[in-house]
Structure 1
């Protein structure tokens, strides 16, 4: 859509941060309602409307900075709705699906979405250019928006028993409890520092895609390789990372973040030593595949670590503090990455790769959360 590079660095931070930050606030508010599925229904409808509007903007040829700001605005709306839906989904799942089956339900959903992502990515990556017109991408966005409306309709039909409304806490009480926990728990502080540095593994993906588009001139193909590579990488490596994180979550995070950091500097070295390789889309496919493996390790490792680190009934508190703080940091770091992108993708890759390596070192120095009590 011809938007300046500045906007690329904002996409992931806004998408992730604004889905994380409101969760603790929504979690306290939603507790006042006995039936909570309607929060998901409304959230899904807003998500669908946001994506549908993005597709229409592209289809009608809106471009330049105007397109960038409109997309950012719609993404803000989408992400906030996503955060609300996330809280409601976890609550509704607990009341509608029996214990022992919830993981399977989530697993089936993740597998199906992964298959769809890989199929779409494979088409954009491998189909001849004549079969990849620009309008196809816009059409997919519109179709995705319609799918969210269909999901909202289906979710509204789920029978949900009223839940308890006792124990609901005000926003000020929730925030006070979070700040107190953060200031008192030294190990949580170190974990959050490691997680903040490892944000780089999520932010660097779009930068590689931008670099691929500028060096190869294959915009839709580059996007397709991103979808295919990350989908395959996550699917193929999840079992390995899961087993390793059960043994040592800190080692999992450290290894995965180190892979992402080393990969970044390898790409920078290749841009100077092997410039011809930088013009082939296959080079970026390999880079994105390796990054996908690394990012999957970081995600699985940190999720395992925070749950195993929390003692007794404090898991929800630890997750709430972690998500809120990381959401704020995502916005700040994303803004810095956007500024760096103004100087070129290489500058952003160098900074994010350094962050990943520092995150690996910090993660390795964490307490062994899987040690017997």
Structure 2
């Protein structure tokens, strides 16, 4: 027993030292935590970094902008199916969130919601792997899209639960760094994947190798679920039919006190009564320039004559390097002021998009040249880098701005609303791209500038801003 105690004490000290090396800690913020949570902070922080890294790494193997379109081409899936990948993946994980929130707030330890979501994603990717190995043509495309729908549901569960678990276990001032560390680590995986694709033959990579890649992704989600299950989470504000301590209409909680909760009524109430939430959603809806512009850059690159092998490998590597660099930098900036980070990153992304449009319009520009390919890949890198800033800032803001079930409602209702906004803005930008891709980029840049100006006027919620 004494030996076990010494071993446990040694592990605690090691975790504390490692956590202190990778995260800038704030003693005042940590003192606000319950004693049990404070004791577990270093190990919980490292577990969250590891689990989120594994999940983000798994995402790289099912990338709807690179890997899955590539797989569709290899399997002979009709080209029309490719356009459904991103909307299903993104909107499919956002739209159900407000509906699911009244069920999730009944769970006292939200980490199990994340674990369930990770298991669902693992199973879905395993099905995709089997289809990649044995499927072909339209049937394979339908099967993969169906699996992607289920995958998005699992992603939805993880999205709702992760912010709440982080809010319960990590103090304000350290949350952005946790997200940033996981983003940087996932960037390393993307770099490795990009290099592997180049070494294995680029466009000639066949379905057996892709099936193995997807199988590896399924394993990563299983490991993420296992790691997340070890997080020590305090019992939260779960609700059942007899409880009367959860819902506060004025705060916008998505839970009802008794009977079957009305998620739609709670969503309307949140929009009507919570000015901070309305502001956050309006800003978030405008800051899509960094997320929706990269596919248009790839399209513009191909149309300008950039080689497929150089382009594909370059874009994947650029994405990985951007995540590696951006995660660490933006994590710290988010803890200083997440709203200013969103504003600054969106402004810079808009400038990059407009600058690319101007450069491509210069007479004699040749996208097929080495210089032309460098311009496109550099613009893609900068936009991906800045998207890391917008994303880390947005995630940190929503964790810091609310507590308990109100935070869960912010995440769920916000993501459901964003699912609709994403479809609308995506449809408008796609329609403009029919006229010319440059018009789509300019449209997104204008929205980004408006969103950045609005972000500056948001309430300040970051602890670092007061230092």
- Give me the TM-score of the superposition, normalised by structure 1: 0.77
Q: What is the DSSP-based 3-state SS (H/G/I as helix, E as strand, rest coil) of the residue aligned with 1:81?
A: helix
Specify the alignment match of 1:113 in structure 2. 186
For the 8 Å contact 2:101–2:263, the answer to whether it is kept is no
Specify the alignment match of 1:276 in structure 2. 366
| Equivalent of residue 258 in structure 1, options 338, 344, 347 | 347
Matched, 1:267 2:356: yes
Matched, 1:140 2:140: no
Tell me the CA shift for residue 256 of structure 1. Answer: 0.9
Q: What are the equivalent positions in structure 2 for 1:46-85 lying under 5 Å apart?
A: 46-58=120-132, 62-63=136-137, 71-85=144-158
Matched, 1:238 2:327: yes
Tell me the CA shift for residue 243 of structure 1. Answer: 4.1
Matched, 1:288 2:361: no
Change (3 A) 1:254 1:162: closer
For the 8 Å contact 1:18–1:80, the answer to whether it is kept is yes
Matched, 1:194 2:283: yes
Tell me the CA shift for residue 80 of structure 1. Answer: 1.0
For the 8 Å contact 1:7–1:338, the answer to whether it is kept is no
Q: In structure 2, what is the Cα distance between the partners aligned to 1:25 and 1:268?
A: 40
Specify the alignment match of 1:176 in structure 2. 265
Q: What is the DSSP-based 3-state SS (H/G/I as helix, E as strand, rest coil) of the residue aligned with 2:261?
A: helix
| Equivalent of residue 299 in structure 1, options 384, 387, 391 | 391
Q: What are the equivalent positions in structure 2 for 1:1-373 lying under 5 Å apart?
A: 1-2=72-73, 10-32=84-106, 39-58=113-132, 62-63=136-137, 71-87=144-160, 110-124=183-197, 127=199, 129=201, 133-135=205-207, 136-149=209-222, 154=226, 166-168=238-240, 169=255, 172-216=261-305, 218-219=307-308, 221-273=310-362, 275-277=365-367, 279-280=369-370, 281-310=373-402, 314-343=406-435, 345-369=437-461
Q: What is the DSSP-based 3-state SS (H/G/I as helix, E as strand, rest coil) of the residue aligned with 1:172?
A: coil
Q: In structure 2, what is the Cα distance between the partners aligned to 1:16 and 1:122?
A: 26
Q: In structure 1, what is the Cα distance between the partners aligned to 2:392 and 2:170?
A: 24
Q: In structure 1, what is the Cα distance between the partners aligned to 2:334 and 2:231?
A: 36
Q: 1:187-226 deviations in whole A, cap 9, x for unaligned?
A: 4323321210112321222222333344446445434333
Tell me the CA shift for residue 263 of structure 1. Answer: 1.3
Q: In structure 2, what is the Cα distance between the partners aligned to 1:357 and 1:67?
A: 41
Which protein has the larger Cα radius of gyration, Structure 1 or Structure 2? Answer: 2
Q: In structure 1, what is the Cα distance between the partners aligned to 2:435 and 2:211?
A: 29
Q: What is the DSSP-based 3-state SS (H/G/I as helix, E as strand, rest coil) of the residue aligned with 1:258?
A: helix
RCO (CA 8 Å, sep 6+): is it higher in 1 or 2? 1
For the 8 Å contact 1:9–1:203, the answer to whether it is kept is no
Q: In structure 2, what is the Cα distance between the partners aligned to 1:345 and 1:70?
A: 31
Change (3 A) 1:212 1:139: farther
Q: What is the DSSP-based 3-state SS (H/G/I as helix, E as strand, rest coil) of the residue aligned with 1:83?
A: helix
Tell me the CA shift for residue 360 of structure 1. Answer: 2.1
Give the total of aligned pairs: 367
Change (3 A) 1:344 1:191: same
Structure 2 gap ranges (5+): 1-71, 241-254
Q: 1:21-59 deviations in whole A, cap 9, x for unaligned?
A: 333433432444567766555533432343344445555
Q: In structure 1, what is the Cα distance between the partners aligned to 2:228 and 2:134?
A: 32
Please, which moves more after superposition, 220-229 or 86-95? 86-95
Q: Root-mean-square deviation (CA), in Å?
A: 4.1
Please, which moves more after superposition, 268-277 or 102-111? 102-111
Please, which moves more after superposition, 200-209 or 330-339? 330-339
Change (3 A) 1:283 1:132: farther
For the 8 Å contact 1:200–1:352, the answer to whether it is kept is yes
Change (3 A) 1:44 1:245: closer
Q: In structure 1, what is the Cα distance between the partners aligned to 2:109 and 2:405?
A: 24
Q: In structure 1, what is the Cα distance between the partners aligned to 2:153 and 2:317?
A: 27
Please, which moves more after superposition, 156-165 or 42-51? 156-165
Please, which moves more after superposition, 85-94 or 262-271? 85-94
- Give me the TM-score of the superposition, normalised by structure 2: 0.64
Q: In structure 1, what is the Cα distance between the partners aligned to 2:179 and 2:394?
A: 19
Q: In structure 1, what is the Cα distance between the partners aligned to 2:233 and 2:222?
A: 23
Tell me the CA shift for residue 290 of structure 1. Answer: 0.6
Please, which moves more after superposition, 211-220 or 2-11? 2-11
Change (3 A) 1:106 1:367: closer
